[in-house]
Structure 1
Amino acid sequence: MLEDDKWLIESIRLSSGEIGVMPDIKLRKDKPIFAQGEPAEAVFYVQEGRVKVTVVTEQGRAAVVAILDAGEFCGEGCLTGQPSRLTSAVAMSDCVVSRLEKSAMRRLLRDNEQFFEHFLQHLVAGRTRLEAKYVSLLFNSTEERLARVLLNLAGVQNPSSRPWVITGINQETLAEMIGTTRSRVSFFMNKFRRLGFIDYDHNIEVYKTLRSVLLRGDAAWGDDI
């Protein structure tokens, strides 16, 4: 649980006596939260852990829509009248989530101004991430998209020389996140490691020098096809 969000968890728990509120659901890694196509009846709040949101086309192609950390919501499409889930959500690690049925979520949004403001910030942040993802797909190479995703997942913010560690993400998931094949991800992961930008075994260690991939648009980075 994020320290700054304790008040939000308490708001949900105080509502737990109401119909449709389940405040502390524990899920093991790889357990589904909801599945594409099932009725959209509730919003989920991630208290602890990391959640992957995916979509599968009719042709069977899969893509990662979002990776959500503690403090974020998923399944909010039900509030717009969405009858069934357009995506699936699964726990990428051991998780604790809260489940709020549509009516309970609407009550909290109506009666709790702080909760409303937090949820609004989540929606705006999600929209901003989605726009950035579309821009990246349109204008960035596979190499640049991979570097950006690794930096975002690692949360690289300050100039420290220490590595930031990404856990629970494999190359197949990275490929689904940036719209390419696993072999292309493997190619660039090996390249980044040779250049000293990352290191990986079970986890991925990301160094701030990986930012240089995003700062160089010349032919030296022209290995993409």
Structure 2
Amino acid sequence: MGCNKPSTETQRDVRDYLELYGVLRSFPRGSFLYTPDDPAQSLYVLLAGQVSLSLISSTGRALTVQVLEPGQLFGHSALMGSRTYDTFAETISSITTLVVPCETLLKAVERNPVLGTLLVEELGAYALVVSRRLDEVAFKTVPSRLASVLLGMAGPGLNVNDQRQRLPRRTHQQLAEMTNAYRETVTRVINQFRADHLLDMDRSGITLLNLPRLRELAGRDRGFLES
């Protein structure tokens, strides 16, 4: 997932433009900023904290499409002229976000055509994230999906020569939702990853210990543990 994100430069440029037009809002942990039933009336820029974007199946099972970090945009449906949002946006920590109403956004693009170009690039990158997440769920096993998620959490700045990487803390349940798997299955895979010295987890975060091996697993459509 990390390679699917828009470039850091694009996100920074968009954020710089939108800061002139948005309104600052703060929300506590566990807040839903929007759901698929809500009108897509605003674009958001996350300034502090973390937000989870997820889909819910007809059986009530959650699939986390993306966990957002500060600087990232969300609420992309507002850019597509959609009537409603396409995901649930839930805060997984207290957050501060910039909220840009659609009408204000349209005026901003009229005044700054470059912003329109940047937003198109951002929208394309988001569509790619969603498409590849759904492909992973459909065609990859849990170990492969978990490896992809962990590498995605490392971000686009991950160096191919790096051997280790420190990641923010995630619970087994959060990782299960990010891989569309049962928590018990993810726990089993994590224990296997630990035994194979691919990662270590503690109360403060996750350490990836063997990035080349994780990349190899992420590219497979058959893992060493079936979902």
Alignment of 1:33-72 (within 5 A): 33-72=33-72
Percent identical pairs in the alignment equals 21
> 1:12 — aligned with what?
18
Q: Deviations over 1:140-179 (max 9, x none)?
A: 2211110110111123712344431223x22212212222
CA distance in 2, matches of 1:7, 1:79: 17
What residue number does 2:192 align with? 191
Q: Assess if the C-alpha contact under 8 Å between 1:151 and 1:206 holds in 2.
A: no
State the Cα distance separating 1:10 from its structure 2 match: 4.8
Greater relative contact order (Cα 8 A, min sep 6): structure 1 or 2?
2
One-letter code of the match for 1:141?
T
Q: Secondary structure at the match of 1:26?
A: strand
Structure 2 gaps of 5+ residues are 1-7
Equivalences, count: 216
**Partner amino acid for 1:28?**
P
Q: TM-score, normalised by structure 1?
A: 0.81
Q: Distance in 1 between matches of 2:182 and 2:191?
A: 15
Secondary structure, counterpart of 2:59 in structure 1: coil
**Conserved? CA contact 1:54–1:64, under 8 Å:** yes
The CA deviation at 1:118 is: 2.5
Change (3 A) 1:79 1:126: closer
Match of 1:64, SS state, is strand
Instruction: Give the residue type in structure 2 aligned to 1:222.
Output: F
For the structure 1 residues 203 and 137, does the alpha-carbon distance in structure 2 shift closer, same or farther, using more than 3 Å as the test? same
SS of the equivalent of 1:14 reads coil
Instruction: After TM superposition, list the pairs within 5 Å mapping 1:68-87 onto structure 2.
Output: 68-87=68-87
The CA distance in 2 between the partners of 1:87 and 1:118, in whole Å, is 22
What residue is the counterpart of 1:18 in the other structure?
none
Structure 1: runs of 5 or more not aligned: 16-20
Distance in 2 (CA, whole Å) between partners of 1:10 and 1:176 is: 32
Q: Compared with structure 1, are the counterparts of its residues 4 and 122 closer, same or farther at alpha carbon in structure 2 (3 Å cutoff)?
A: closer
2:117 is matched with: 117
Q: Is the 8 A contact 2:151 2:215 kept in 1?
A: no
Correspondence for 1:165: 167
Q: Which has the larger radius of gyration?
A: 1
| 1:185-210 Cα deviation digits (max 9, x unpaired) | 00011111122111112243232514
TM-score (norm 2): 0.81
Q: CA, structure 1 residues 7+88, in 2 after alignment: closer, same or farther (shift >3 Å)?
A: same
Asked whether the 8 Å contact 2:30–2:90 carries over to 1, the reply is: yes
* Deviation (angstroms), 1:62: 1.9
Deviation at 1:97, TM superposition (A): 0.9
